[in-house]
Structure formats: structure tokens, C-alpha cells
Structure 1
Amino acid sequence: MSATERLAALGIVLPTPAKAVANYVPVVIAGGFAIVSGQLPYENGQVAVTGKLGQEVDIAEGVRAARLCMINVLAQLQASLPEGLASVAQVVRLGGFIAATPFFTDAAKVMNGASDLAVAVFGDAGRHARSTIGVASLPLDGAVEVEGMFLLR
């Protein structure tokens, strides 16, 4: 099954990609890779999950936020690559930033929302290296931000 077919089977329709909110571009293609800038948990044009993990956001809502971020990463790829998601040969790396209180230690569980979706969409080619970092705050009070690096065909 292709990535697009897997998305359809999951009932996911990719949204219109979010525009950059500062002085950067959403995707850079260089050296056979696509690097996607950090994406927030947008849903229906708004940041859907705001606040901090360990305070007003629980783990389940954090996982949902990470999944939404990954959907937005995929939307950026679909819009930026000549053949859309069919251009992706491998998910190389995902980076996750989790807005959290100083004592929140389950950031890896939250980031699984993005990682699990990468594997569901790309199969074994979705298995990737990953960093997950707890941070004091994120743009627009987003609870999670996800960035990625993808090897192209």
C-alpha cells in the first residue's frame, strides 16, 4: 500500500499546510532530503492543543497533539514534493518539542503520537531516529511541535 492509501485507510485527510509564522520556510529540499520545519498541532486552522504537559494537558491529549503535528508535517511534504508523499523513501528523523512543566518525564510517550503515525503511514520506511525534548514554551502556546527529515527517492 502507498502512503496515500494508508492515510485514506486511517481516515486521514491532509489539511492545507500552515503558513510559516516567522522568517523561515516550511520545507527545504537539499542533498536528497526534505527537511520539514517544526509543525504545531493545527486542526481546522487553529492550534488545537495548547498549554503544558504535566499541568493543563494530560498524556492522552499530548499524544493527540503529536499526531496532529505529524499530520501537518505530512501535509507540508505532500504540498512541497513533486510526487507528494510518493517521493518519500524513508523517514530519517523526527524531532519533538514538548511544552511541559519541569517535572514532566513522559515526553517520550507523548512523541509516540507522531512516531506511531509515521510507521502507520510509511510502514518499515517510517521507522526513524528521534529526539524528544521538554521545553518551557512553544509558539502560539502549542503543547507539542514536531519537525522531520525525510530521504527522497
Structure 2
Amino acid sequence: MSELETRLAELGVKLPDVAAPAANYVPFVQVGDIVYISGQISQNADGLILGKLGQDMDTEAGAAAARTCAIGLLAAVKAACGGDLDRLVRVVKLTGFVNSTGDFTEQPKVINGASDFLVEALGDKGRHSRSAVSAGALPLGVAVEIEGIFQIK
């Protein structure tokens, strides 16, 4: 088990298998030492995490949903690294989309669920630049979708 996976296990996190794409795209693209991970939707072992922030979901629940997206991102990074997560150099950037009402303004607090988790799990490797934006709807009605850019060796 890699050093990073040992840390994840200490946090009670087991990386899921990377889901097959549902349309005409790939889970990741590598260009040099940079890996672009396709958007990961909020889901856990129980299924999709659905909801609209500001309507039927609060900020805390949204942050928990964003955390599941970060776990999905790491699973895709592991796949991009041929199964060796220790090849991860750092998280470069996240772009988070929050399914929210027009008057909901706490998108950054929602995406903190992913950012905080990555720093907790990866330390300084997890610090990244970021955008957090509102979306009137997301695929399948999920609460959060996050895409990421990562540097690997």
C-alpha cells in the first residue's frame, strides 16, 4: 500500500474504482506531468448525493458531498498513475460546481469540503488554486461536481 493510501486508510477512506465514462469522454488525460481529471460527481457507496443547495440541502451537507468528489478525484489520479498514488506531486487546481439556487452564495464553503479533505489527506501536496461556482442544475441532479488538475511524476 502506498504512503498516501496508508494516510487515507487512517482517515477511514478507501478509494473507489474509477467509473466508466457515461458519454464520449475519458476519465483523465495526461499531458507531460499534468493530469486533467474529468468532473467527479457527488456520490458515495450508497449512491448519488442529490440536492440543490439553498433549497433542500444545507452548506454542511454540500461540503460532505464535495468531499466525496475529492475522493473520486484521487481514485482517478491513482488510475492515471498506474495504481501508484505516491506518484502524485501535488493538486494544482480544482473547479467546483455547486447545484444551487440563485440566492445561495456559499459555494466556496461547499467546495471547502473537497479542499479541506485534500489538505488533510495530502498535507502541502493537497494545497491548490480553486474556483467555486454556482450551477442551476448538474447531471443526474447531483449536489456537486468537481474537476481537477494534478501534477504527477
TM-score range, shorter chain: over 0.9
**1:101 matched to 2:62:** no
1:32-111 correspondence runs (5 A): 32-44=33-45, 46-47=47-48, 49-111=49-111
CA deviation map 1:95-153 (0-9, x unaligned): 10000000000000000010011111211111000000101011111100011101112
Between stretches 91-100 and 2-11, larger displacement belongs to 2-11
- Indicate conservation of the 8 Å contact 1:18/1:72, yes or no: no
Aligned to 2:135: 135
Structure 1: any 5+ residue segments left out of the alignment?
A: none
Residues 35 and 150 in structure 2, CA contact (< 8 A), matched pair in contact too: yes
Give the RMSD, CA atoms, in angstroms. 1.4
Instruction: Write the distance in 2 (CA, Å) between the matches of 1:127 and 1:119.
Output: 6
Report the residue type matching 1:31 in the other structure: G
In 1, Cα distance between equivalents of 2:139 and 2:150: 24
C-alpha distance in 1, partners of 2:97/2:143?
Answer: 8
How many equivalent residue pairs?
152
CA distance in 1, matches of 2:44, 2:20: 13
Structure 1, 13-22 or 103-112: larger mean CA deviation: 13-22
The range that moved more, 119-128 or 96-105, is 119-128
TM-score scaled by length of structure 1: 0.94
Runs of 4+ in 1 over 4 A off after TM superposition: none
TM-score by length of structure 2 reads: 0.94
Match of 1:18? 19
- Aligned identity (percent) is 43
Cα offset for 1:80? Answer: 2.4
Structure 2 unpaired stretches of 5+? none
